[in-house]
Amino acid sequence: MPKQERLAMTRFRRLAGAGLLSLIVLHADVGSARGADTAKRDAAAAGPILTNICLITDDVKRLTKFYEVVLETQASWSGPDYAELTTGSSILAIFSFEAQQKYIPDVTEAASNKSMILEFRVSDPDREYGRLQGIVTSWVKPPTTQPWGTRSIYFRDPDGNLVNFFTRIKKQ
């Protein structure tokens, strides 16, 4: 990642706790010969691109460790209060409530989300259900074929956030 993008991401991370969901617009050509103005115009034409979701928590280590196991990936840490887990083209960020309070006070509440689902496409929800039996302690729904054409498992992370592992199924 070019230095300009890394600096922008660092600045963003400091403010990432503005809410449970964080939207940022990134364009691969920022800092290239095309220039930032062209990249901004291209990004604006395409519309905002959701690239990060930031969970605010009272226990960054615990929640990060949970997602490292569940997502089978290693977190990148920017100090003890912020971690990122990359999944495909998206990032699940985990940020300390206490640290977030320093930047934008009194706008979030840790572990209190009841209005969003973190959805991850997987190849086989049934296999994931078996793999996660010793990890997940709060199951919401076992492997089920949904009427909208997905096979899903639903569970809650240690902070109570709802998670869906799903795959699209072929129509019969």
Instruction: Provide the 3-class DSSP secondary structure of residue 36.
Output: helix
Residues 1 and 64 in one domain: yes
- Supply the pLDDT for residue 44: 64
Alpha-carbon distance values, 161 to 10, 54, 124 (Å): 25, 12, 21
- Supply the pLDDT for residue 42: 63
pTM over the 0.95 mark: no
Q: Quick check: 15 pLDDT over 70?
A: no
Split into its structural domains, the chain has a count of 2
Residues 132 and 88 in one domain: no
Closest CA to 110 of 147, 156, 154, 160: 160
51: CATH = 3.30.720.120
Higher-scoring residue by pLDDT: 11, 115? 115
Q: Quick check: 171 pLDDT over 90?
A: no
Residues 106 and 123 in one domain: no
Residues 103 and 141 in one domain: no
Residues 53 and 2 in one domain: yes
* Count of CB atoms situated within 10 Å of the CB of 61: 14
- Final residue of a structural domain among 60, 93, 111: 111
Residues 92 and 150 in one domain: no
Residues 82 and 3 in one domain: yes
Tens digits of residue pLDDT in 84-140: 999 999 999 999 999 999 999 999 999 998 899 999 999 999 999 999 999 999 999
Residues 99 and 144 in one domain: no
Residues 93 and 8 in one domain: yes
121: CATH = 3.10.180.10
- Supply the pLDDT for residue 167: 98
- Final residue of a structural domain among 92, 111, 130: 111
Range of the domain at 100: 1-111
Tokens of 84: 């990122």
Tens digits of residue pLDDT in 26-79: 333 334 344 556 556 666 677 998 999 999 999 999 999 999 999 999 999 999
